Amino acid sequence: EAGVAQSPRYKIIEKRQSVAFWCNPISGHATLYWYQQILGQGPKLLIQFQNNGVVDDSQLPKDRFSAERLKGVDSTLKIQPAKLEDSAVYLCASSPGTGTRYEQYFGPGTRLTVT
Amino acid sequence: ILNVEQSPQSLHVQEGDSTNFTCSFPSSNFYALHWYRWETAKSPEALFVMTLNGDEKKKGRISATLNTKEGYSYLYIKGSQPEDSATYLCAFGGGSQGNLIFGKGTKLSVKP
């Protein structure tokens, strides 16, 4: 079974530039998550999708971050414009169902550096 | 604000040592407790999902226990090996449909 794919693995941009990350979840997994992990902190949920609908985006800074999951499969997370404090690892995860008892399967993450 | 605490923050042990870490979480509204292992440059990997008070789970040399009444879980590694070097994350699920709240992790380094 193929795992969760993410690209790019690394990205360096200047502040005020835009950046987009891509995620392909495990086939058949209805739920997709984007997390932000700042150095020294635990992963923080940004947005959760169930199929192509948003379940929770309460911690997504909507003035600069956006995410979509067209057709309920792949997902894209965008930052526009980036700030220095957006430097972090962005993790995508998927699970076969929605709920805290489901194991989450993570991708390798995208390490973003904003200079 | 829900708080999930992990201790210690980091740990350095010799190959063959046994070790354990702690995850503390709110004792109310418990629904699930997850443990993940995250090796450098790899994907976080699920170790255990625990749901019942008193649960004990084991995978090879790694085991975990759960006490939901007092709000803690222990992760044990018996006979640590260099390949166990990783950050170990716990995550608390405080409701069936809520999201997971992660701790900051315990970084384990095992010296050959």
What was the pLDDT predicted at B95? Answer: 78
A100 within 8 A of B46, measured Cβ to Cβ: no
* Chain segment A93-104, per-residue pLDDT in tens: 999 988 889 999
Per-residue pLDDT at A63 exceeds 90: yes
Quickly tell me which residue has 């997504």 as its tokens.
A60
Whether chain B has a CB inside 8 Å of the CB on A66: the answer is: no
Residues 6+ apart with CB under 8 A from A113: A10, A11, A12, A13, A87
Which residue of B10, B100, B106 is the best one to mutate when testing the A interface, meaning the one whose CB has the most A CBs within 10 A? B100
Cβ atoms within 10 A of the Cβ of A4, count? 22
Nearest to residue A34, comparing CAs of A11, A16, A55, A14? A55
Whether chain B has a CB inside 8 Å of the CB on A99: the answer is: yes
Per-residue pLDDT at A27 exceeds 90: yes
Q: Would you give per-residue pLDDT tens digits along chain B (112 residues)? A: 678 999 999 999 999 999 999 999 998 889 999 999 999 999 999 999 999 999 999 999 999 999 999 999 999 999 999 999 999 999 999 877 778 999 999 999 999 9
Whether chain A has a CB inside 8 Å of the CB on B99: the answer is: yes
What was the pLDDT predicted at B1? Answer: 64
Residue B42: closest C-alpha in chain A: A108
Pairs of CB atoms within 8 A across A/B: 62
